[in-house]
Amino acid sequence: MANKILLTGFDAFGGATLNPSWLAVRALHDRQILGHTVVAAQLPTVFDASLTALNALLTQHRPALVICVGQAGGRSAISLERVAINVNDAPIADNAGGQPVDTPVKPGAPAAYFTSLPIKAMLAALQADGVAAEVSQTAGTFVCNHVFYGLMHALATRRELKHTRGGFIHVPWLPEQGTPGMALDDIVRGLRLALRCALQVDKDAALGAGATN
Ligand code: PCA
């Protein structure tokens, strides 16, 4: 049970034939990182069904760390997401034809949750290794934000997950999908560095005087 890392990616959506988030997390399945075993799983790019699947995986694996990964076409760097918001506002239909507009992910729950990953330390670790990375202030309002919010809500409210940390990372297109693109090897290397860093660093130093972006 203990010492697992859950790493999720999504299936292809919006007419694409692949999703780099799934190809990248699949490449890390079963790897050992600092005494933890990576379990990679695919989530459907579907509102609600994605969260049902994620919650079942959390119950099954009780991971120490969870990172959900999705594709963000048009971004040139690995995006370490800071905040999940309690809204679904789909610009396109999901893979089941659903397109919720201005509905809550969880009715009555907080407006937002912050990641519990040390994103500034992760940013430094990726950049030190030459991987293009950035902190992102929005995961959008489509299925990725939905999953990020649902993950953080589960970690905040499910007692057995009290010690589990988690967050969300967006990755660019592969070069064959469009520009800007990032090679799959670099995405995989970036995710591995991000996982190592998240296991080594509990929290970023508190924001306050002297904190920089
Ligand atoms: N990216 C979409 C959903 C699935 C994915 O890989 C998003 O950014 O919401």
Please work out whether the CB of residue 149 comes within 6 Å of at least one atom of ligand 1. no
User: Domain map of the chain by residue range?
Assistant: 4-200
Place of tokens 């306050």: 208
Model confidence over 101-133: pLDDT tens digits?
999 999 999 999 999 999 999 999 999 999 999
CATH 2.60.40.10 correct for 4-200: no
Please work out whether the CB of residue 19 comes within 6 Å of at least one atom of ligand 1. yes
Model confidence over 150-194: pLDDT tens digits?
999 999 999 999 999 999 999 999 999 999 999 999 999 999 999
Nearest CA to ligand 1 atom 2: 144
Are the beta carbons of 39 and 72 closer than 8 angstroms?
A: no
Please tell me the distance from the alpha carbon of residue 64 to that of residue 176, in angstroms, as a whole number: 34
What is the model's pTM? 0.96
The DSSP symbol for 76 reads: -
How confident is the model at residue 198, as a pLDDT? 98
Segment holding 7, helix H or strand E: strand 4-10
